Structure 1
Amino acid sequence: MAGLHPWLGVAVIAVCAAAAFTGGLLYWRRRGAGTIATHLLSLAQTLLVAQVAVGLLLLADDRRAGDELHYAYGSLSLGMALAPWFYAPEAGSRRLLWFAGTTGVAGALGVRAYMTGAA
């Protein structure tokens, strides 16, 4: 389980970056959220939930991160990715911008969590 957490972190960062870039590009080109962007954004959120779940399992097994900021960055990353479900407009291109933007910030927070996680 301890070996899965860093690899899942790399996957979270990569997918968040790809989803944010794709969503931002589609918004900039004034296109709607296509199938690929929708699936990338959903995959990013799913990986973030899985990453936090694995982290909680590691905490339950009494394994701690090297820096306590790791927990803050990980939690904020998940919160940032889920925030558009509460605050984004109901429909339209601005909804895509909300999801792409917050997923990009979640990826950046994931980078910080990855950098503070080594014991």
Structure 2
Amino acid sequence: MLAAHAALALAAIAVAAVAAVWGGVSYRRGRGGGRVLPQLLALAQTLLIAQVALGLLLLSDERRAADDLHYVYGTLALGAVLSPWLYAPREPRRRLLWFAGATLLAGALAVRAYTTGGAA
């Protein structure tokens, strides 16, 4: 299960990076995200939420991370990815920027979680 947690982390980081960059470029060009970008942002959110859930399963099995900061970064990444659902404005273009920015932040926090996660 630890290998799945590490593999899912890499997938979540990669998808978050692609979604955030694509969202930022779409915002700068004054366009909507099209049909694929919202799905990609949702995939990034889903992967990060699944990553936290898998981490909680590992924790319940008493498989702890080497550094307690791993839990802080994981929790902050979860909060970042969920925050646009509460705070993003209704206007579609600005809402896209919020989701892309939050995904970028969540991806960066996931990188930090990955670097602090070594097996104990």
Tell whether the structures are fold-level matches, with TM greater than 0.5.
yes
Equivalent position of 2:68 in the other structure = 68
Give deviations 1:25-82, integer Å, cap 9, x for gaps.
1000000121111011000000011000100000010000000000000010011011
1:27 and 2:12 aligned: no
How many residue pairs match? The answer is 119
Equivalent position of 1:47 in the other structure = 47
* TM superposition shift of 1:2: 1.3
* Percent identity between the two aligned chains: 61
* TM superposition shift of 1:90: 1.3
TM-score (norm 2): 0.97
| Structure 1 portions without partners, runs of 5+ | none
TM-score (norm 1): 0.98
In structure 1, how many angstroms separate the alpha carbons of the residues matched to 2:35 and 2:67?
Answer: 38
Q: Superposition RMSD on alpha carbons, in Å? A: 0.7
| Structure 2 portions without partners, runs of 5+ | none
Equivalent position of 1:117 in the other structure = 117
* TM superposition shift of 1:95: 0.4
AA of the residue aligned to 1:95: R
Structure 2 counterpart SS, 1:89: coil
* TM superposition shift of 1:3: 1.1
Equivalent position of 2:86 in the other structure = 86
* TM superposition shift of 1:91: 2.6
